[in-house]
Chains A and B, each alone.
Chain A
């Protein structure tokens, strides 16, 4: 067990000492690393329990945002998707602080609902899944904006939302695991490149 008074610096110092050197902490790197991460998590994660209350998007828009995020990077056989990764919360937080994002995303969601209303008579969330797929297939590709300039604002909106969804997913714990990133740890020596064909 670690005392709370043990600092990250103390733990890191213990890592640099050889086995023969007396360490006040008697830690091994893996334990020390875990300790540090737990300590940071405790420092940073303040009151994150309970349902998330959106800071910027009105409830219905937020539901649309959630739906779009999960459609962009969905759960699959390997792991959860953008919802589980907290992408909508991340996007809402940034948007609540940035008037430019508010226009691009808030306005973009309005554009999507209006366009769906024009085409299908319903806002996006009330469309059938086939209709939702149809409009997303149109705005998810730049070439469609060239074919139909009336879609270009939707293409720009979707592209921006896709980037932010990728941010939210791939910087989450499950996203990082999904990518297979295995760093951010403590090595006594850097082993270099393992055998890779063509490298």
Chain B
């Protein structure tokens, strides 16, 4: 039996989603004096109980492989911070015939910031002027100069390590000192120097010195498990606590937003949500709404919010909600480096991620594809884990003491290289409401359409060539994909070297900004053209998807949007 519960007094602002964008908005808005209620579709986070920091694999019966070994070769192992999934029971999504797309979702306070790679790169000036630079796609309605002060604010608050480099279109930020390189990184940097590929300290949201009451990193390389000392950034541990401290913040956990309800004056007056613990439908009212549920989830909410005044979905008079969906271009090659066999035993952990990376080093040059990519790489003597020795076993084969010794010899001597490149939006990649499928809460689900363009395929093959050149220059050999060894008939798969859509987890652009209400949903303040008390504060507003991971820009943009909202509130415009 559905029961609609309404509170008497509306909050100033309702934020939907507690990740990078929602968390930033909560901090800025509550500290600015507004009362805020936040809906999170998952439970509250309890680091003390939820995190598997410093747990050894042999301390878990499944050794990290999870029930039935389902986490072998998957991102979400048993060690990972809670509730990040490729598939959620009872909450499906569909793909159109001929399309392939995977959607990673986190149902937990803090959202995907509990699981992200902590790579914190600023977009560059050209990234906001894509159309003006090469004629493809569109320009953003804001410039780098307009968002730069917010990058400063975010970095100063959350802490990002890095180094000042003055690289074109990869702006420096407010940086903490970077950690020293590992052996694998020293080796790769030397090869990059020979090849004139820029290789510099990475830029990651991990503290190398104490900051704002948080401790410095203790170098256990386990950021993805969650950090009990909050030495890395997550919204749950860094953005939400200051919001709570204001006394003006209410978190509604296990609250799955279903529909934004429009009042007679054409503004949003409430959000209807399912309380997952009771299965009751409830409503919460506010004067303004900040949707930050993740790009595709935000698009879904708007498309599911149909009314007489918005028959195609809320704020969707342009029809572009769900369109312009992009992900990063990804591909991967691993190499084997015999000289790493000679490493003496030493602690190779470092931070939870790379200490060095390669920003796009051919900016402004004439290349056989538009835009660019950066290179991430990692390897070495990480904590042993399930699936890690498949490759050695496939290559060495046999059994016995020689296999055991071969595993030890080759342990830590492999390095993997991954590209992260810019996809240009195309008409064939978008999400929409599936006309026939609802989730277990009764909410219509998304259906994805996906196709990479020529430019992305060219870029991926350039990545492959580059990784091979780096591996060979560094004295290594390219490792064949061990899974192909047993199934040579699948070898052709490796010719299509590009990642499956969505799997880089940089999906964005589905509720985009722009100056023209006919071709965009939001104005330059991420406020809906059609609905003045509706804002979007995740990666849905992005106009381009440059080769820089989106999270830092989500936070900078959300901070800017929230300050605009505060200003509107002060002027009595809410």
Contacts and interface: CB of A to CB of B under 8 A. Distances in A.
Interface of A: 7-9, 12-13, 15-16, 33, 36-37, 40-41, 44-45, 71-74, 76, 81, 86, 90, 93-94, 97-98, 101, 136, 140-142, 155-156, 159, 162-164, 166-173, 175-176, 178-194, 196-199
Contacts of B383: 176, 181, 183-184
B245 interface: no
Considering the complex of A and B, which 7 residue pairs feature the smallest CB-CB distances, nearest first?
Answer: A192-B180, A98-B68, A16-B215, A198-B339, A97-B68, A171-B57, A183-B349
A5 to B, nearest CB: 12
A176 to B, nearest CB: 5
A132 B400 CA distance: 13
B64 interface: yes
B157 interface: no
A171 B64 contact: yes
A184 B56 contact: yes
Contacts of B385: 171
A168 B388 CA distance: 11
B112 to A, nearest CB: 23
A198 B48 contact: no
Given A90-B63, A159-B486, A182-B345, A16 B180 contact: no
A101 B384 contact: no
A127 to B, nearest CB: 16
Contacts of B486: 142, 155-156, 159
B228 A12 contact: yes
A16 B210 contact: yes
A6 to B, nearest CB: 12
Given A71-B400, A74-B404, A178-B408, A188 B218 contact: yes
B440 interface: no
Given A101-B69, A167-B387, A171-B385, A196 B182 contact: no
B104 interface: no
A184 B58 contact: no
B390 interface: yes
Contact of A45 (B53, B59, B343): B59
Contacts of B258: none
Contact of A190 (B48, B179, B408): B179
B56 A37 contact: yes
Contacts of B348: 183
Given A13-B229, A136-B399, A194 B54 contact: no
A31 to B, nearest CB: 14
B69 A98 contact: yes
Contacts of B174: none
Contacts of B48: 7-9
Given A71-B400, A183-B348, A185-B347, A15 B218 contact: yes
A71 B398 CA distance: 10
Nearest to A90: B63
26 contacts: A9-B48, A12-B218, A13-B229, A40-B56, A44-B59, A45-B59, A73-B403, A74-B401, A76-B404, A136-B399, A142-B397, A162-B399, A163-B387, A171-B64, A176-B383, A183-B220, A183-B221, A183-B381, A184-B54, A185-B220, A190-B347, A192-B181, A193-B346, A194-B183, A197-B342, A198-B339
A15 B386 CA distance: 30
B342 A183 contact: no
Given A37-B56, A184-B220, A194-B346, 18 more contacts: A12-B53, A16-B210, A73-B404, A140-B399, A163-B389, A164-B69, A170-B407, A171-B64, A178-B408, A180-B381, A182-B345, A183-B381, A187-B219, A188-B218, A191-B180, A192-B180, A193-B185, A196-B340
A43 B168 CA distance: 51
A33 B219 CA distance: 13
A180 B345 contact: yes
B55 interface: yes
A106 B396 CA distance: 25
Contact of B384 (A45, A94, A176): A176
Interface in B331-359: 339-340, 342-351
Interface in B71-100: 72
B264 to A, nearest CB: 50
A168 B404 CA distance: 13
Contacts of A194: 183, 343-344, 346
B63 A199 contact: no
A182 B346 contact: yes
A179 B405 CA distance: 9
A136 B222 CA distance: 39
B68 A176 contact: no
A190 B67 contact: no
Contacts of B63: 90, 167-168, 171
Given A94-B68, A167-B63, A140 B398 contact: yes
A191 B347 contact: yes
A41 B182 CA distance: 30
A184 B53 CA distance: 9
B24 to A, nearest CB: 25
B217 to A, nearest CB: 8
B467 to A, nearest CB: 19
A33 B220 CA distance: 12
A183 B58 contact: no
A93 B496 CA distance: 36
A98 B218 CA distance: 37
Contacts of A72: 399-400, 403
Nearest to B64: A171
Contacts of A187: 218-219, 347, 349
Contact of B407 (A74, A141, A166, A197): A166
A129 to B, nearest CB: 13
Nearest to A158: B399
Contact of A193 (B182, B218, B221, B228): B182
B62 A94 contact: yes
A4 B93 CA distance: 45
B422 to A, nearest CB: 32
Interface in B216-236: 216, 218-222, 228-229
B103 interface: no
Nearest to B351: A190
B347 A182 contact: yes
B167 interface: no
Interface in B34-65: 47-48, 53-65
A195 to B, nearest CB: 8
Contacts of B57: 171-172, 176
B54 A141 contact: no
A16 B229 contact: yes
Residue among B58, B186, B219, B401 with the most chain A CB within 10 A?
B58
B381 A181 contact: yes
